[in-house]
Amino acid sequence: MENILVTGGAGFIGSNFVRHMVKSHPECRVINYDALTYAGNLENLKDMFEMENYIFLKGDIRDRESLEKVFEEYGIDTVVNFAAETHVDRSIDEPEVFLTTNIIGTQILLDIAKKSWKVDADKYSREYRPGCRYIQISTDEVYGALGSDGCFTEETPLAPNSPYSASKASADMMVRAYHKTYGLPVNITRCSNNYGPYQFPEKLIPLMINNALEGKELPVYGDGKQVRDWLYVEDHCTAIEQVLVAGEIGEVYNIGGNSEKENIEIVRKILLALNKSEELIKHVKDRPGHDRRYAINSTKLRKLGWKPSYSFEEGMEATISWYLENRDWMKRIVDGDYMNYYSGLYGKI
Ligand code: NAD
């Protein structure tokens, strides 16, 4: 693990992971490759630009030529693929880009990882490596929905219910196929819902915090009793790191915080913490195909020595404080100004 390619590193979880790896692994070079879609925001990483072991490259995982240059130029030996279209509501309105990025983009990345080269320092002699280490960041949504009890294990059959989760499940199948067919050293991680700093405000927790602070209505799908298993983003990052260093090749690892909460409970907690009235809650028509409950069994990963370090209460406190201290970050996104933040600064490679 010398030259790690992090794709989608300008998004929510990717930017937290990049920061974690740059700081805790000064011996590694972290190359963040991101297309900067509406969800990618370089402001998430502005403290990283002066770090010697950090590089940003603007690029699309569907662009084979660009990726090939990156692998060769930087001698990539490890890939962590976060790049994806991620919002379920958007996948219901416009599924196609979810297929091209999440499935085809993943396949292109796998293909290049499979024949990756380790380039020696002088760049003239090359030592062939049979494919670099590859980690696919997947989601518990590939398993579909649960009833009122039980939880997803790595053996639960895949039964995705939204175009988003179907595209992620397809990508997982392709990752598995590249391991079984070509021997690519892969792992797949399937994590539950994340929350924490730098999350785009179309997702539940930052949306509700922002609306509450602005005194706007808080739209809650249906009765709000959908259950999710919440994990603070930093704990997701340490889990991926653990899989990178100790994961058994070819294995899938579930990641979860044993922290099941109903959406409505979270919304009420946010209102209470911000001293706002529950009258701001507005129940709206439920999302089509909305999964009722997710819960994760992460025993297999815990056996590798990982456990979350934040309780849900600690994570929520840290998250709400971060959004209160970074209202300008939120304002720039909501105003659409952040798209100007990097324009003209970074060309396409
Ligand atoms: P995000 O939407 O915040 O970030 C996605 C990033 O990918 C953005 O920076 C975007 O610019 C980039 N991107 C999109 N298309 C690209 C392309 N074609 N080429 C290169 N870059 C591209 O997403 P997130 O919430 O940080 O999720 C990251 C990953 O983790 C995703 O794969 C997602 O499926 C998975 N995941 C997310 C959660 C969650 O709760 N957010 C839970 C489990 C798994």
Q: Where residue 232 sits, what CATH number does that domain have?
A: 3.40.50.720
Which ligand 1 atom minimizes the distance to the CA of 193? 40
Q: 91 CA distance to ligand 1 centroid (A)?
A: 13
Q: 143 CA distance to ligand 1 centroid (A)?
A: 18
pLDDT for the residue numbered 98: 98
Using CA atoms, how far apart are residues 167 and 97, in angstroms rounded to an integer? 10
Using CA atoms, how far apart are residues 253 and 299, in angstroms rounded to an integer? 9
Report if residue 283 sits inside a domain: yes
Is the ipTM value over 0.85, yes or no?
yes
Buried b (16+ CB within 10 A) or exposed e, 83-103: bbbbbbebbeeeeebbbebbb
Taking alpha carbons only, the member of 85, 89, 49, 41 closest to residue 333 is 41
Inter-CA distances, 120 with 5, 73, 75, 127, 214, Å: 17, 10, 8, 7, 54
pLDDT in tens, 61-98: 999 999 999 999 999 999 999 999 999 999 999 999 99
- Per the CB < 8 A criterion, the answer to whether 207 and 269 are in contact is no
Range of the domain at 173: 3-340
pLDDT in tens, 91-125: 999 999 999 999 999 999 999 999 875 545 455 55
Report if residue 261 sits inside a domain: yes
Proportion of the chain above pLDDT 90, given as a percent: 87
For 76, the 3-state DSSP assignment is: coil
For 133, the token pair is: 């280490």
Quote the number of domains for the chain: 1
Report if residue 345 sits inside a domain: no
Report if residue 153 sits inside a domain: yes
Q: Which residues line ligand 1 (CB under 6 A)?
A: 7-8, 10-14, 34-37, 39-40, 60-62, 82-86, 101, 105, 137, 139, 168, 191, 193-194, 200
- Per the CB < 8 A criterion, the answer to whether 81 and 137 are in contact is yes
Report if residue 292 sits inside a domain: yes
Which residues form the catalytic set? 140-141, 164
Report if residue 346 sits inside a domain: no
Write the residue with the smallest CA distance to atom 37 of ligand 1.
Answer: 139
Reported pTM: 0.94
Report if residue 15 sits inside a domain: yes
Using CA atoms, how far apart are residues 80 and 188, in angstroms rounded to an integer? 10
pLDDT for the residue numbered 130: 63
Residue 340 has pLDDT above 80, yes or no: no
Report if residue 298 sits inside a domain: yes
